[in-house]
Amino acid sequence: MSCFPQLWHSSTPESPRSPLPASPGAAAAPLSPGDGRRKGRSPCGSPASPGPASPKPASPVECSICFNTYDNTFKTPKLLQCSHVFCLECVARLSAALPPNQPEDLLPCPFCRQLTSIPRQGPPALRTSKELLATLPPELQREKVLWMEGTKLCCRRGSDDAENPESCVSVDVAMSKPESAEAGAEGLAGRLSRCELCDDWKRVVLLSALVIILFCIILWPVQCALKTGNLRC
């Protein structure tokens, strides 16, 4: 029998080797849970890729001051010299608020402050925006005749009698009512005159009382002294 110890060799199965990267910097970064969803998303649904551009209107279909939709009467789209568009009623109100001592009616644009010359016929004579008028329904694309009567913007109904005064529709565009202002001034003047009369009446009574007191205190003893030689009558 041999004296050398017997060695038993057990073979272990080799594990499959994973491919190693060529360099440490080439290691693949771990995938986040959202990478699969991002890869599966279609280009049309991504927010970065905008869809086909929708056509935008050249100007809004409503007035930028009163936010009312344009029509062919009081809300007719009027074009200023700066190419900004506002409805006729708002332009008429702005024109009525101009100082009366100006040599010429020059309306500043509410947006860019560029001046627009108002014709003698008033704001209805300004140029109408045909582009916006064409976007209205067919029954509103025909512009009606409007004119100014003082501070009132008037429009005549097409189907009514022209001689009938009730066939005209008007809107007062004045910022303040002069009639009410005059009435308030007259009322204030009347109240002031009444107060002055009351003050005069009070002064007369006070003066009369002072005269009586003066007569009783000073003049009466003097009269007694002149008549009887004594201060007591």
Q: What is the mean pLDDT of residues 93-118?
A: 88
- Give CA angle at 208 (204, 210), nearest 5°: 120
**What pTM did the predictor assign?**
0.50
Domain boundaries of the chain, sorted by first residue: 77-178, 195-233
Q: What is the mean pLDDT of residues 36-48?
A: 43
pLDDT of residue 49: 42
d(CA 78, CA 71): 11
d(CA 35, CA 92): 61
Confidence of residue 40 (pLDDT cuts 50, 70, 90): very low
pLDDT of residue 156: 82
d(CA 63, CA 92): 13
Close Cβ partners of 227 (under 8 Å, ≥ 6 residues apart):
233
pLDDT above 80: residue 229:
no
Share of the chain above pLDDT 70, in %: 58
pLDDT above 80: residue 150:
yes
Of 67-71, 178-182, 211-215, which range is least confident?
A: 178-182
Quick: pLDDT tens for 153-209. Answer: 999 876 555 556 567 889 999 876 544 445 455 555 555 555 665 667 788 888 888
d(CA 61, CA 58): 9
| Token pair belonging to 130 | 């045909």
